[in-house]
Structure 1
């Protein structure tokens, strides 16, 4: 029966050289990676946990910088105790030599094959200090996700931030993006962001949801199987009521106004395909806009080693995994958002399930976790369908709107590539216009370019490098 050992029975690590292969390398120390590393370490495996941040927790459990002296960081988070318990267990495993937490390790590539994986990382806060290669028999990818952005006129003005970015500013820096903040986009994250910003002292004149919440009611069995999610939604709704924040569905910001920074936004009603309804314009004064349209699984370096992907209900791509969290590449597992966006609770479960399979454990404990995982995954799919971007959003754009911020490629240039130069997919548009060739490698513009090229969303690319790396570091490897 795959129950995990109690906290006071952490197995001692075997004698090993620093350069000896680990049993398991876990890439990413967010909820999924943290849970997997803790479970695998307690089941007797020698684990390397690599993450680009200085502390565990990922984007969801961000910490205020130590110099800020935050006395109650848990007040900024939902379900903090689930993280705190695992973080304490990780410390015990690190002390016992079972897990090496390799912080500020920016993984830029994985090479090798089953039984002989090499994880290549650049070290330091910005990945420019040194390099390191970690070797392991097995690999678990818990690389998380990043925010999906759909452009509109004025979105490059200072004061426009991602919805998740606004929350990160609050959690990590204890600062607000502005004092009067409009929250817009699509997805349940908007409600959490609005509540957090309001609790921290911001005025939220409106939350603008481009879709709505009716889609959830089309899956009553899924809702009934996830009462915890309903309770979580009720908590967010109560927070909005307490702060008197109006929520407007089928509405979007279609333009931002200002000279040196945000001064106001134009809001319009949308039809079912997200096309703006003429005559519904409304101007809202504000000094910041927090906007996001869901999350996109971060698939590097998984696609670089051949892991297959699937199209998700909201038009992104995620890794194909089986019921044991195995990818299509032997010796590689995935947990959390890389297998499909579903939230921290689901990520924690998937991390533990992956660790159980990697350690060769089975039984009722695994079965109960798998059932909970399946219920939460069903809710995640319902959420994706309800908030999936509709194709009419491209009507927000005029030809002068920057789509690719890094390379300053406009919507007009992308449309020209499609209409006059024969581009039929995002890759061809990229070759003709340089859209997606900049510093972010298409993370900001990929979904928009794909839609303008006639696709449903961003395509899963097989980039050889998962993050920027110097030529010197590349040559040494």
Structure 2
């Protein structure tokens, strides 16, 4: 059992900001993250040496975190949490799986978000990726040089992903945004109050000046070639339909907050997000939340919310940050309205389209059930390794069902990690 005055779950921008603020003000801080390095999705692989001055915000944040004295423990996946003050993690090592326990006085949830995927015919084909997932693979060494890529879905992430893929040598044939120009125009106009975001968006678009950006368009089918890999996508604007050849499809429908730990602890929710006050405090007095689980609003919102949460944990004033935090929340509200999913996306799956990829459950088998619980009992939908993280948001969009409960462990944990902590690799494999 390790003890922390402030325990931060998640080492993305929000978690980094929270840990730094709390540690700089005298708290003993431990940060847990399931990745091998800090940074989360947006600052993936961030270290002081890798955070070069081309990304000034990342560079400053990593340097401050290192100087603050906060202890960052990577490779720890939280699978259990108790509001009484205990968290359990799983760490995979060369000698096996290790379970660790952490006790906290105050807890900051900075668990970020994941992509929302909507099933359509062919979405399980080799060559079809999540937009952010493909970007992460490229950062990890996957080559897209010379490959023709269609980027589709919704949200500001599409333009950023397309620009980064183009920098890595990909040929972006088109960017398909399901929201219409009529929805996007007010949001784009509001960026004048956020000049940094406006400059960033203009820079991304400048890198794609030869690439068509088609609003009000979406992919309705991924088409396989002779080798059963992606060959083209079928696209519609609601009036006409056409086919675009491509080697890869990067498709994601904005973001879904990672709120499983908050639900497990018993935090109160506001629709899909954790309910917080001006200090980022949840309904539990010793639990705080920052970043996407409290509302999808981007990097700047995550940073300011994380700093507020860290200061609040340390008992310090955060009044000077409230105006900035309110402006970022307003930006997030405008973004949510602009990129709201259109009703036509609910009709994308055919009866034989796989919805739950873990358990191979087609859309037809979900018809006639009363909700999540009934469907799980009859089809095992949502009961695979991802525990509904992929199919859950999709089914909520398609059928209006929402998960009714969250149970620990939050993901599969080897029995060996509990019963035989000193077992050899052979025993570990045999037990698993």
Change (3 A) 1:174 1:409: closer
1:109 has 2:80 as partner: yes
Contact 1:159 1:289 (8 Å CA) reproduced: yes
Aligned to 2:197: 229
1:465 has 2:425 as partner: no
SS in 1 for 2:100: strand
Deviation at 1:133, TM superposition (A): 0.5
The separation in 1 between residues aligned to 2:104 and 2:420, in whole angstroms, is 20
Deviation at 1:453, TM superposition (A): 2.7
Aligned to 2:124: 156
Change (3 A) 1:127 1:190: farther
Q: 1:100 aligns with which of 71, 78, 82?
A: 71
Query: TM-score normalised to the size of structure 1?
Result: 0.82
Q: Deviations over 1:435-470 (max 9, x none)?
A: 111111111111222233344xx5474232223212
Contact 1:176 1:197 (8 Å CA) reproduced: yes
Change (3 A) 1:20 1:292: closer
Aligned to 1:286: 246
Aligned to 1:448: 394
Q: Which residues of 2 match residues 310-321 of structure 1 at below 5 A? A: 310-311=270-271, 317-321=272-276
The separation in 2 between residues aligned to 1:74 and 1:394, in whole angstroms, is 43
Contact 2:97 2:416 (8 Å CA) reproduced: no
What is the count of residue pairs matched by the alignment? 418
SS in 2 for 1:123: strand
Aligned to 1:130: 98
Unaligned runs of 5+ residues in structure 2 are: 422-432
Change (3 A) 1:289 1:35: same
Query: TM-score normalised to the size of structure 2?
Result: 0.90
Change (3 A) 1:475 1:215: farther
The separation in 2 between residues aligned to 1:267 and 1:460, in whole angstroms, is 35
Deviation at 1:398, TM superposition (A): 1.2
Change (3 A) 1:112 1:383: closer
1:257 has 2:223 as partner: yes
Contact 2:146 2:169 (8 Å CA) reproduced: no
Contact 1:104 1:123 (8 Å CA) reproduced: yes
Aligned to 2:305: 350
SS in 2 for 1:301: helix
Q: Which residues of 2 match residues 37-436 of structure 1 at below 5 A? A: 37-63=19-45, 80-93=55-68, 98-113=69-84, 117-124=85-92, 129-173=97-141, 175-176=143-144, 179-218=147-186, 223-241=191-209, 244-258=210-224, 259-270=227-238, 277=239, 280-311=240-271, 317-362=272-317, 366-415=318-367, 418=368, 423-436=369-382
SS in 2 for 1:441: coil
The separation in 2 between residues aligned to 1:385 and 1:450, in whole angstroms, is 18
Deviation at 1:472, TM superposition (A): 3.5
The separation in 2 between residues aligned to 1:126 and 1:167, in whole angstroms, is 28
SS in 2 for 1:302: helix
Unaligned runs of 5+ residues in structure 1 are: 1-18, 271-276, 312-316
The separation in 1 between residues aligned to 2:96 and 2:341, in whole angstroms, is 37
The separation in 2 between residues aligned to 1:31 and 1:375, in whole angstroms, is 18
Change (3 A) 1:454 1:26: closer
SS in 1 for 2:407: coil
Deviation at 1:295, TM superposition (A): 0.7
Deviation at 1:151, TM superposition (A): 0.6
Change (3 A) 1:189 1:111: same
The separation in 2 between residues aligned to 1:476 and 1:381, in whole angstroms, is 49
The separation in 1 between residues aligned to 2:146 and 2:80, in whole angstroms, is 37
The separation in 2 between residues aligned to 1:45 and 1:407, in whole angstroms, is 45
Deviation at 1:476, TM superposition (A): 8.3
For the aligned residues, what is the CA RMSD?
2.5
Deviation at 1:395, TM superposition (A): 1.9
Q: Deviations over 1:311-333 (max 9, x none)?
A: 2xxxxx11111111001112000
Change (3 A) 1:232 1:461: farther
Deviation at 1:177, TM superposition (A): 8.8
